[in-house]
């Protein structure tokens, strides 16, 4: 009997210590593959959290569409089946229209200006608003400035876009932008290599790293440095999960993702020069000085569209326009 009791004691103690040691897993979703902007944020975050929590948290990264496209990842975060995500701004705007504001064309001049707004009180308004749809908005990392590529002909002025079938993200705003520019916009979730290769679409728009990491230089001949939209990622957590965390853990996780975002933004910007050189070397014809006035003119009235009619969305757009002019 004594022996049996002892056995249970030991088993119990062992169980308790195992429980204390067992790491809590944070499942984090990105749609892109290793080497991508989102993955760089995710991997840095994993490194920082696992180091700083001394093993109390383990971060498991789900990537390369293993748990669905970005809209599907966001739905899983809302339900807390996964806890975090690094998600491109575009697909967010059907969840919360306030996100449209930061995808507005020709809003930010450069990365430094985007940082100043997004890391400040106006960016915080967006992050905080995400609570209304089940997300804890933590911070912004970046995809970067988006550029047009296509396989039909060189594009220097907006008029040359007419009729091109351009894939856009699942975002009513992005669709409206390309409609205004005269294209035939086709919403399609990531990834899109096969559709480009087979000519289902003529072109697409994304930051330079995408053309390199996803080897679009193999299947897209022309690139125009339009920089028409600065594309942030929003780094989010499930609100259901977030509310279960101790304040000290919330702080540690919040800091780690922000540091990962700062690391990634710098990394992305530092690499852009070399990427442009590589894409030319690989044979892309690059229009480096498009006539952007012709592009701006065509999208000038977007702010008056229904997409921005909700008062808080419209008010924030005007505030950011004022702060960036
Ligand atoms: O990050 O869907 C898109 O165009 C995104 O920019 C893509 O996930 C690459």
CA of 65 to the centre of ligand 1 (A): 12
Per-residue HEC secondary structure of the chain comes to CHHHHHHHHHHHHHHHHHHHHCCEEEEEECCCCCCCHHHHHHHHHHHHHHHHCCCCEEEEEECCCCCCCHHHHHHHHHCCCCCEEEEECHHHHHCCHHHHHHHCCCCCCCHHHHHHHHCCHHHHHHHHHHHHHCEEEEEEEEEEECEEEECCCCCCCHHHHCCCEEEECCCHHHHHHHHHCCCEEEECCCCCHHHHHCCCCCEEEECHHHHHHCCHHHCCCEEECCCCCEEEEEEEEEHHHHCCCCHHHHHHHHHHHHHHHHHHHHHHHHHHHHHHHHHHHCCCEEECCCCHHHHHHHHCCHHHCHHHCCHHHHHHHHHHHHHHC
How many angstroms does the Cα of residue 143 sit away from the middle of ligand 1?
8
Tell me the CATH number at 142.
3.40.190.170
Residue 22's pLDDT band (boundaries 50, 70, 90)?
Answer: confident
Burial of 90: CB neighbours in 10 Å, binned 0-12, 13-18, 19+: buried
How many CB atoms lie under 10 A from the CB of residue 5?
A: 9
Which ligand 1 atom lies nearest to the CA of residue 143? 1
Decide if 5 is inside a domain: no
Nearest CA to ligand 1 atom 8: 190
C-alpha 178 – ligand 1 centre gap (Å): 16
Domain count, the chain: 1
**Residues 169/90, Cβ–Cβ less than 8 Å:** yes
Query: Band of the pLDDT at 310, cuts 50, 70, 90?
Result: very high
Kindly give the number of the ligand 1 atom that is closest to the alpha carbon of 91.
2
Q: What is the mean pLDDT of the chain?
A: 94
Are the CB atoms for 103 and 174 separated by under 8 Å? yes
From 39, 68, 143, 264, mutation site for ligand 1 pocket: most ligand atoms within 8 A of C-beta: 143
Does any domain span residue 298? yes
* Mean of pLDDT values over 3-27: 60
Give the residue, by CA position, lying nearest to ligand 1 atom 7: 190
Mean of pLDDT values over 222-236? 98
Q: What is the mean pLDDT of residues 250-275?
A: 98
The answer to whether residue 296 scores a pLDDT higher than 50 is yes
Contact 173, 101 (CB under 8 A): no
Q: Which residues have C-beta atoms less than 6 Å from ligand 1?
A: 31-32, 88, 143, 169, 190, 206, 210
In a domain, 285, yes or no: yes
- Provide the sign of the torsion angle of the four alpha carbons 61, 171, 127, 209, taken in this order: positive
Strand order across the 57-62 sheet: 57-62, 24-29, 84-88, 230-238, 135-145
Q: Convert the pLDDT of each residue in 190-228 to its tens digit.
A: 999 999 999 999 999 999 999 999 999 999 999 999 999
Q: Does 2 map to a domain?
A: no
The answer to whether the CB of 182 falls within 8 A of the CB of 158 is: yes
Structure tokens that stand for 154 in this block: 């060189």
pLDDT category of residue 16 using cuts at 50, 70 and 90 = very low
| Best probe residue, ligand 1, of 88, 102, 145 (max atoms within 8 Å of C-beta) | 88
CA atoms within a 13 Å half-sphere pointing along the CA-CB vector of 4: 1
- Residue-number span of the structural domain to which 313 is assigned: 23-324
Expressed in angstroms and rounded, the spacing between residue 204 Cα and the centre of ligand 1 is 10
Pocket test residue of 30, 31, 195 for ligand 1, highest count of atoms within 8 A of CB:
31
> Which residue out of 141, 167, 206, 234 has the highest number of ligand 1 atoms within 8 Å of its CB and is therefore the one to mutate?
206
> Which among 138, 120, 96 has a CA at the least distance from the CA of 239?
138
Q: Which residue has the tokens 């008010």?
A: 315
Inside any domain, residue 123:
yes
CA 48 from chain centre, in angstroms, equals 20
Q: Are 236 and 38 in contact (CB under 8 A)?
A: no
pTM (2 d.p.): 0.93
Q: Quick check: bond before 128 cis, omega within 30? A: no
pLDDT confidence of 121, banded at 50, 70, 90?
Answer: very high
- Is 1 within the bounds of a domain? no
Best mutation site among 86, 92, 190 for ligand 1, i.e. most ligand atoms within 8 A of its Cβ? 190
15 is a domain residue: no
Q: Which atom of ligand 1 approaches the CA of 167 most closely?
A: 4
User: How far does residue 190's CA lie from ligand 1's centre (Å)?
Assistant: 6
Structure confidence by residue, pLDDT tens digits, 85-112: 999 998 998 999 999 999 999 999 999 9
Residue 320, in any domain of the structure:
yes
pLDDT in tens, 35-76: 999 999 999 999 999 999 999 999 999 999 999 999 999 999
Ligand 1 atom nearest the C-alpha of 146 is 6
CA of 107 from ligand 1 middle (Å) equals 19
Residue 20 has a pLDDT of 52
Query: Over 70: is that where the pLDDT of 21 sits?
Result: no
* Residue 13 in this model has a pLDDT that exceeds 60: no
Ligand 1 atom with the smallest distance to the CA of 36 is 1
For residue 205, which atom of ligand 1 is closest to its CA?
4
Rounded Cα distance, 165 and 269, in Å: 29
């Amino acid at each position: 009997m004594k022996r049996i009791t002892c056995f249970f004691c030991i088993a119990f103690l062992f169980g308790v210590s195992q429980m204390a040691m067992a790491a809590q897993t944070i499942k984090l979703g990105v749609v892109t593959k290793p080497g991508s902007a989102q993955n760089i944020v995710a991997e840095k975050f994993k490194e920082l959290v696992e180091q700083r929590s001394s093993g109390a948290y383990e971060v498991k990264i789900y990537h390369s569409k293993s748990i669905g496209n970005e809209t599907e990842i966001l739905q899983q975060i809302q339900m807390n089946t996964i806890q975090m995500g690094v998600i491109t701004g575009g697909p967010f705007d059907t969840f919360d229209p306030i996100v449209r504001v930061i995808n507005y064309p020709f809003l930010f001049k450069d990365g430094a200006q985007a940082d100043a707004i997004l890391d400040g009180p106006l960016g915080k308004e967006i992050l905080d608003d995400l609570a209304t749809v089940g997300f804890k908005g933590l911070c912004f990392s970046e995809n970067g400035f988006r550029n047009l590529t296509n396989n039909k002909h060189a594009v220097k002025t907006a008029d040359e876009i007419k009729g091109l079938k351009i894939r856009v993200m699942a975002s009513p705003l992005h669709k409206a932008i390309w409609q205004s520019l005269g294209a035939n916009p086709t919403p399609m979730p990531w990834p899109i290599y096969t559709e480009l290769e087979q000519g289902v679409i003529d072109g697409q728009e994304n930051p330079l790293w995408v053309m390199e990491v996803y080897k679009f230089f193999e299947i897209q001949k022309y690139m125009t440095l339009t920089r028409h939209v600065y594309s942030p990622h929003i780094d989010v957590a499930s609100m259901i999960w977030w509310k279960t965390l101790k304040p000290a853990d919330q702080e540690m996780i919040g800091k780690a993702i922000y540091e990962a975002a700062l690391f990634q933004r710098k990394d992305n910007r530092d690499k852009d020069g070399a990427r442009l050189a590589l894409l030319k070397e690989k044979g892309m014809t690059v229009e480096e000085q498009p006539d952007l006035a012709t592009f701006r003119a065509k999208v000038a009235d977007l702010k008056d569209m229904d997409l921005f009619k909700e008062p808080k969305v419209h008010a924030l757009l005007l505030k950011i326009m004022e702060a960036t002019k």
